[in-house]
A and B are shown apart, each in its own frame.
Chain A
Amino acid sequence: MADLDILDPSNSSQDDRDIAELGEAIDTCLELAHGFGLDPYQVHFEVVPAYIMYEFGAYLIPGRFNHWTHGKAYYRMKTQYDYGLSKIYEMVINSNPATAFLMEANSLWQQKMVIAHVLGHVDFFKHNAYFGHTNRQMVDIASLHAERINKYEYDHGTEEVEKYLDAVLSIEEHIDTTVRIRQELSLPLETSNSQPESPYADLWDLDNQTKDKAKQAQKDKEKARKKFPPNPEKDLLRFIMTYSRELEDWQRDIIEIVRNEALYFLPQKQTKIMNEGWASLWHQRIVRELDFNDSEYTEYAQLNSGVLSPNRRNINPYYIGWKIWEDIERRWDKPTSEEKERLKRQGNEGHNKIFEVRELDNDISFLRNYLTKDLIEELDLYLYEKRDDQWVIVEKDWQKVRDGLVASMTNFGDPYIVVEDGDYKQNGELYLKHQFEGTPLDVSYAEKVLQYVHHLWGRGVHLETVTDNKKVLYSFDGRSNTRRTVN
């Protein structure tokens, strides 16, 4: 950690005094957090001016590679901040020690609330199982990534790298969450022309060799016709990186970079509601213990209700998450007599229960297991859809609302797309398939993405999906987009 600077109070500037005050606030919040049972990593707090804050907000990791899409996000955040439409109070990086950026312009009471919120996040990052494999040095790694991409820009031209990144980023969501499990079980991607695993492998077959010769010939034939990949492959980035025949090393490296960063973000996407809810739960409890004066408390209450306000078109993860956490705690503290008998709940187990849930669940299981009928009704959740020009509430039944919410989070809300055939028409073309589950794709977008994928794959690319209740194959051959109905 950073060196210990002994501050000389007789010679302190305003900044020094601010920092000292902030230090006391952190100290107090930490003590309270520990008292509640939270166990965060060490945290490094960095006080930054607004323009740095929205830059980090736009890039998600400080020092991440340059790309115009980051500039677009930066511009949007900056504008929203400048117009007073939104403000980023803090940003926490999931590293060890954790890094938390605090907005310089926050008042002291705001900083206290923010610090308490940060401690909730850091505790969650440290303990939730889905972060178990997270690379806690991602800030450093992202800077190395940025350096590498810089070098490629120098070698191959900024525009070419930019165009290439445009293409890679268009499919950055299409990675595989189970990839680590597969790596641990060492189940590599199979290829159609895979060789025997070891030079001696054929020895095992010696006994059967003659009588199986015919069988073997048959097998070979089948193998030759066998699909590549043998099973549908969800990790488009990994598949293209490994098997595209067109890519140079630097291009494969860029895919690797984008994929690595996307993998880093996955657990955060996967636990958004839990994590924001957890941080909101604890910032409220910690702040409650602090000595705010009346006006500070009023301001805090306003800000807090702003953060936790409901939203007609989206759910507010801070709010929903917090309500579920409190509900779990209450139900395990004071079980109904039925729960006591049937589920053998003792009562007064709320604290242990929420700490257990924060370790084991992700948003989908969290909602499935703990978003109850009562809560859905209390929160007034609903499903809506578009009818003509209007967005209309179409479902209030609690089970359907819960299932709808869970379904909307499947695959992080993105369409599930796999490589069905990497050698389509025995011509090395790429055949993608959308695993249709009732919601059609945005076709104009899909056609543009196919152009990008073609840029990566170098040969014809195809996407099978369902449009207007018909199976349709969208293709791009390098010159034009086409579509045809298939059976």
Chain B
Amino acid sequence: MSDTITFSKGMFSITKQDWSLHRKGPIDQTRHKEKIKEAIKKNLSDIVSEENIILSDGKKTIKVPIRSLEEYRFRYDHNQSKGVGQGEGNSKVGDVIGQDQGDGSGKGKEAGDQPGVDYYEAEVSIDELAELIFEDLGLPNLEEKKHQELESESVRFTDVRKVGVLANLDKKRTIMENIKRNAMAGDARFKDVKNDDLRFKTWDREVKLQSNAVVIAMMDVSGSMGDFEKYIARSFYFWMVRFLRTKYNNVNIIFISHHTEAKEVTEEEFFNKGESGGTQVSSAYELALSIIDERFNPQEWNIYPFHFSDGGNLPWDNDRCVDLVLKFIDICNIFGYGEIRESHYSLMSTLMSAYSRVDNKKFVGVTISDKAEVYPALRRFFSENEVTKK
């Protein structure tokens, strides 16, 4: 763009100048974004088990309620005050002019002018959220094994900018910007590219080579597992799977669901299928151990078995479970057991009390009684320890 152009006449003047160095808005916008990030981090426990995330069906972005970003003012309760509006000429007393969306799940069309919504909805991509959640998580006790390598990679597209090396031109965005600008002038075509339209990508790439790992996700699907228990187990595994795939390129995940019998299932079945019947936990452990035996030589693999259950087990099976857990501990990096209880005050299950005899740092047991405890559980299981060499 050229320098300042001025046109001046008695009662008025016109100027057009180069504004490209003017950057006030973007600076404050960045700060606003940072604050959203901070707020999300503070609310991770609540956000992690938000239903609309777990049920997001692969949607790329979700809306999460953030309370601390609202601009608080003394204001009227909109739900208890009258408003003034304008009809199309035939309005009558009693006409309904709008419907509240109620649960705030984002189904409403007019969320923007909905009075009385007392939280700020930040739109974040699931990937962004995952990045925050997994920021300081990792596979614990990861060991360097012989042979095969586990690639852990993080590509960070740190920014899209208006300046950059031509080789990094983001063509798609540039074309979009150009069309957008032309559309504003009334002609939505790709033409006359100006500097202002150009967009460039910049990114950092970090690749670390690590040893192979397999995670065995076991879940109790017996009749005693209610909706709440299943929801918790699935939301834990949802993030676990996502975390493993985000951070490690080559991790294997085996899914096992069990009641009195255990079977290896597909990811799809694992997350969607309900079963019923009694419970025999050892069946799952035995299946897992035989899978390890057949496919994952502990000399070459880091092995991470996790098991979620409500703790209800056939009483005579508990001792057998303890024996099998000890077997896991011999060959695995950790063994994670999560027990879901609907109330903090209910007694420890017989299974959990049997496990209290297991005295080994590799055994990690947690109980979850509330949606908000899923995130802390993730942190318990996946706090990265130092890599130990073998």
Q: A residues touching B (Cβ–Cβ < 8 Å)?
A: 1-5, 7, 13, 15-16, 18-20, 22-23, 26-27, 30, 42-52, 54-55, 58-59, 63, 66-72, 74-75, 78, 82, 84, 87, 104-105, 107, 162, 169-171, 173-174, 299, 310-316, 319-320, 379-386, 389-396, 401, 404-405, 408, 414-415, 417, 434, 439-446, 448-449, 452
Query: Which stretch of B82-90, B265-273, B296-304, B344-352 is in the interface?
Result: B82-90
- Which chain A residues lie closer than 8 Å to B30 at the CB level? 71
Q: When the two chains form the complex, which single residue of A63, A66, A162, A312 contacts B85, counting CB atoms closer than 8 Å? A: A312
* Set of chain B residues within 8 Å of A26, measured between Cβ atoms: 9, 12, 14
For residue B95, which residues in chain A have a CB less than 8 angstroms away from its CB? 392-393
Q: How far is the CB of A259 from chain B (nearest CB, A)?
A: 15
**Would you call A171 and B88 a contact (CB within 8 A)?**
no
Cα A356 to Cα B13 with chains together (Å): 29
Provide the bound-state CA to CA distance between A174 and B74, in Å.
Answer: 9
When C-beta atoms are compared, the residue in chain A nearest to B10 turns out to be: A42
Q: What 4 new A-B contacts, CB under 8 Å, besides A383-B84, A393-B85?
A: A74-B25, A171-B74, A381-B87, A391-B97
Cβ–Cβ contact B28 & A70, under 8 A: yes
- Give the segment of B181-189, B213-221, B314-322 that binds chain A: B181-189
Q: Is the Cβ of B12 less than 8 Å from the Cβ of A312?
A: no
Task: State in angstroms the CA–CA spacing of A44 and B16 once bound together.
Answer: 11
**Residues 308 to 342 of chain B near chain A (Cβ within 8 Å):** none
Contact partner, B13, options A2, A72, A452, Cβ 8 Å: A2
In the assembly, what is the distance between CA of A449 and CA of B16, in Å? Answer: 43
Looking at the assembled complex, report how far the CB atom of B72 sits from the nearest CB atom of chain A, in whole angstroms.
4
Does A23 lie within 8 Å of B7, measured CB to CB? Answer: yes
Contact in complex: A391, B99 (CB < 8 Å)? yes
Q: Which of B96, B185, B196 interacts with A390 by CB under 8 Å?
A: B96
> What is the bound-complex CA distance between A186 and B12, given in angstroms?
39
Q: Does B5 contact A (CB under 8 A)?
A: yes
The answer to whether B7 touches A5, judged by C-beta atoms less than 8 angstroms apart, is yes
B28 x A384 contact (CB < 8 A): no
Closest A residue, CB atoms, query B31: A68
Task: Give the residue of A47, A389, A394 whose beta carbon is less than 8 angstroms from that of B93.
Answer: A394
Distance to closest chain B CB from A73 (angstroms): 9
Q: Are A395 and B79 in contact (CB under 8 A)?
A: no
Known A1-B8, A380-B86, A414-B75; contact A63-B14, beta-carbon cutoff 8 A: no
| Other-chain contact of A384, B17, B19, B97 (Cβ < 8 Å) | B97
Asked if A44 and B83 sit within 8 Å, CB to CB, the answer is no
Known: A439-B76, A442-B78. A107 touches B14 (CB 8 A): no
Distance in angstroms from B382 CB to nearest chain A CB is 31
* Contact residue among B19, B75, B102, B116 (Cβ-Cβ distance under 8 Å from A415): B75
Decide: B14 and A170 in contact? CB cutoff 8 A.
Answer: no
Please name all residues of chain B whose beta carbon is closer than 8 Å to the beta carbon of A312 when the two chains form the complex.
85-87, 97-98
A75 vs B32: C-alpha distance when bound (angstroms) = 9
A383 to B180 alpha-carbon distance, docked (Å):
39
B293 within 8 A of A: no
Q: Which chain B residues lie closer than 8 Å to A389 at the CB level?
A: 99-100, 102
Taking CB atoms, residues of chain B closer than 8 Å to A69 are 32, 71
Q: Known contacts being A2-B13, A68-B28, A446-B74, is A394 close to B92, with CB within 8 Å?
A: no
Q: Which residue of A lies closest to B71 (CB)?
A: A69
CB under 8 Å from chain A, chain B span 1-48: 1-2, 5-9, 11-17, 19, 22, 24-33, 35
Write out the residue numbers on chain A whose beta carbons fall within 8 Å of the beta carbon of B359. Answer: none
Are B88 and A72 in contact, CB atoms less than 8 angstroms apart? Answer: no
Decide if B73 touches A15 in the complex (CB within 8 Å).
no
CB of B55 to closest CB in A, whole Å = 23
Chain B: minimal CB distance from A68 (Å): 4
**Nearest A residue (CB) for B76:** A439
| Complex CA distance for A82 and B72, rounded to whole angstroms | 27
28 example contacts (A-B, Cβ-Cβ < 8 A) are as follows: A2-B13, A19-B14, A43-B12, A46-B16, A55-B25, A59-B24, A63-B24, A69-B32, A71-B33, A72-B69, A105-B181, A107-B185, A311-B85, A312-B85, A315-B84, A380-B91, A381-B87, A383-B82, A384-B84, A385-B81, A386-B79, A391-B98, A392-B94, A414-B74, A442-B118, A445-B72, A445-B73, A449-B73
Q: Which residue of A lies closest to B184 (CB)?
A: A105
Chain B, residue nearest A45 (CB): B14
Q: Whose C-beta in chain B lies nearest to the C-beta of A50?
A: B184
Contact A390 B98 (CB under 8 A): yes
B80 adjacent to chain A (CB < 8 Å)? yes
Q: Is the CB of B77 within 8 A of A439?
A: yes
Contact B28–A391 (Cβ < 8 Å): no
